[in-house]
Amino acid sequence: MGTALLEARSVTVRFGGLTAVDGISARFAAGELVGIIGPNGAGKTTFFNVLSGVLPPTSGRLLVAGDDLTGARPHRYAHHGIARTFQTPRVFAELTVAANIGFGLQFAGRGRAAAPGLADAAGILEVIGLSAHAAQPAAAITPSQQRLLEIGMALATRPRLLLLDEVAAGLTEGEVEHMARLIRGLRDDLALTVIWIEHAVTTLLRHVERVLVLHQGCKIADAAPAEVVRDARVIEAYLGDEMAQGTS
Amino acid sequence: MSGRRILGRDLSVLAVLAVIALALPAWVNEFGVSMALTCLMYVALSSSWSLFCGATRYLSLATSAFFGIGAYAGALTLGELPWLAAIALGAGAAAALAVVMGSAVLHLRGTYFAVLTFGMTELIRHAVTFAEKQIAGTVGRVLVFVPEPGTVYLTVLALAVLAVVTSIAVRRSRLGLALAGIGGDELRAQTLGVDTRRAKVIGFAISAAFAGAVGAAMSVRWTYIDPATVFNPFIGFQTVLIALIGGAATLWGPLVAAIVFSVLAEALRLQLPQLYMMALGLLLILSVLYLPGGLASLRPGILIGWRDALLARRPARRAGAGKVRDA
């Protein structure tokens, strides 16, 4: 078995008496496009926080390309090529859109080889479609543009792996499709590994090749979308009748 | 305006101010020189405080500790070391203290950070007092080797200029960007690759080094120092107030406020010392409530906004009263 780009081994996170993530193991290979779904409170975002180093796990290990980064601070994950977005966009409101991109280029992105087209702020703005807003303060663009900017900031760190936390939440149908195409493009054209959490399950299942289903902090399925939607446990825990009808 | 033109403008303004300060002792009396020295001291203190605290929004109340440590380091070595070496030692001692203190408390934010820096300052003051009494068997230190008053003035002027130049340089550096990122969203800065702990400790130490150097330079003015004088919390509070009222996130706000308030302090201190503190306190409250960016963020648009808000309030009140009657 080759070395996974990112590997979680029996990761557990407890907040006091609550177990938010309960012994999850998962491997992510280079170039994969993987989705993570699960009902509210399933532990998706907590798991993401562990994968990006924002939250050290209570127990378990995290390996990035074979290096043990368990307990390391978030900037080390960034320097190892793990980039993330946040559910609620966390852009630097007072900086311009271009300067927000410049921030990532100045730190984790510095000294790392850039994918073609992502070498500078102008190229990244082109990819995410915000070139026209480069000089505006990040606070002045719309929330859906801020979600794109979040992705741009992550790309500026010149990552190998992109963790996307509900980037399509609150977007219109057209915007969701645009976002999905952008994400597929990042994987197909730039050979990035993408792990994508989304609440809108149908959109997600259409685009990913593999999906992890979390329920009450546990991983209850890890398979191709077509297989997952037929899994009895998944249907019971999360998808319910709505999905069964949708696929019949 | 492009970055280079802003740099040129800032450096020219600073050069003009420095030349004025340099020429001042030849034109004014002793009282005027003493007032100018106080101005320069607070320019150095509040500019260097803002360099770290304005960018990161970490409110440090430890300036008195750094000032006092610098003053003591300078006073204890002035007999053996040349003047500039004593100043450098004061800066070094304060920076070392900042590294230790920063490593302990810079993971805390907001009120906790502010209160702990103040607590540590008090702890250091009492520790030095204890050491004076119990170990050295003294209350304070008499400074025997005192340089010319002109030397002190030139040194503090140089420190003030250096503090502003350092602020300009840090703002244009990766360290400055990291500090601004920490102020904007610390976790986001971390996930974009900033070693926030390191950046904070370095920024805190730079800012402390200036307070320590100023402490070492100013200590000789008193000819006799004791912990109560050099660790005076008032110096730290006044620095913070000046920076906040002037606009800690800006380059020139703290400088302008330092000059205005030092002149005000010296002018009012003889007749009405309480009035000055009351005015400063009132201005702080007003600026926090209505002008969070400090006086430097004051623009004609803000004044117009205030006027409109005041005008809009009166009819609104009347309409509100009408509603009550209708109900």
Per-residue pLDDT tens digits for B49-103 = 999 999 999 999 999 999 999 999 999 998 899 999 999 999 999 999 999 999 9
Query: Is A156 within 8 Å of B191 when comparing Cβ atoms?
Result: no
Chain A residues bordering chain B (beta-carbon distance below 8 Å)? 52-54, 73-75, 77-79, 83-84, 86, 90-95, 103-104, 106-110, 153, 156-157
Query: Is A75 within 8 Å of B195 when comparing Cβ atoms?
Result: yes
> From the list A73, A93, A103, which residue is nearest B192 (CB)?
A103
A29 in the same domain as A136: no
Cα B211–chain centre separation: 8
The CATH class that applies to domain B3-293 reads mainly alpha
Residue A86 placed within a domain:
no
Residue A230 placed within a domain:
yes
A141 in the same domain as A220: no
A77 in the same domain as A1: yes
Which of A13-22, A206-215, B59-68, B273-282 is predicted least confidently? Answer: B273-282
> From the list B174, B184, B193, which residue is nearest A79 (CB)?
B193
> From the list A92, A104, A106, which residue is nearest B185 (CB)?
A92
Residue A168 placed within a domain:
yes
Distance CA A188, CA A127 (A): 13
> Three-state SS across B164-207?
HHHHHHHHCCHHHHHHHHHHHHHHHHHHCCCCHHHHHHHHHHHH
A99 in the same domain as A55: no
A183 in the same domain as A129: no
Distance CA A58, CA A7 (A): 16
* Counted domains in chain A: 2
- Tens of pLDDT along A120-173? 999 999 999 999 999 999 999 999 999 999 999 999 999 999 999 999 988 888
Global confidence as pTM: 0.90
Which of A206-215, B141-150, B255-264, B289-298 is predicted least confidently? Answer: B289-298
State whether residue B90 is helix, strand or coil. helix
A128 in the same domain as A61: no
Give phi and psi for A214, each to the nearest 5.
-105, 145
* Chain A CA closest to residue B198: A75
Q: Is the pLDDT of residue A75 over 90?
A: yes
Element (H, E) at A63: strand A59-64
- CATH (domain of A243): 3.40.50.300
A188 in the same domain as A73: yes
Q: What pLDDT is recorded for position B321?
A: 45
- Tens of pLDDT along A172-221? 888 898 999 999 999 998 889 999 998 778 889 999 999 999 999 999 99
Give phi and psi for A36, each to the nearest 5.
-125, 125
Q: Domain end: A143, A159, A175, which one? A: A159
Q: Domain end: A119, A144, A159, which one? A: A159
Q: Is B185 on the interface with A (CB under 8 A)?
A: yes
A168 in the same domain as A245: yes
Q: Is the pLDDT of residue B320 over 60?
A: no
Q: Render B219-287 in DSSP notation, one character per residue.
A: HHHHSEE-HHHHT-HHHHHHHHHHHHHH-TTSSHHHHHHHHHHHHHHHHHHHH-HHHHHHHHHHHHHHH
Domain ranges of chain B: 3-293, 298-327
* Chain B CA closest to residue A93: B184
Determine the structural domain holding residue A11 and report its residue range.
1-81+160-248
Position with higher pLDDT, A93 vs B309: A93
Distance CA B96, CA B94 (A): 5
Query: Is A107 within 8 Å of B192 when comparing Cβ atoms?
Result: yes
A117 in the same domain as A70: no
- Tens of pLDDT along B218-270? 998 888 888 988 999 889 989 999 999 898 889 999 999 999 988 888 887 77
Banded model confidence at residue B286, pLDDT cuts 50, 70, 90? confident
Residue A138 per-residue DSSP state: G
A146 in the same domain as A208: no
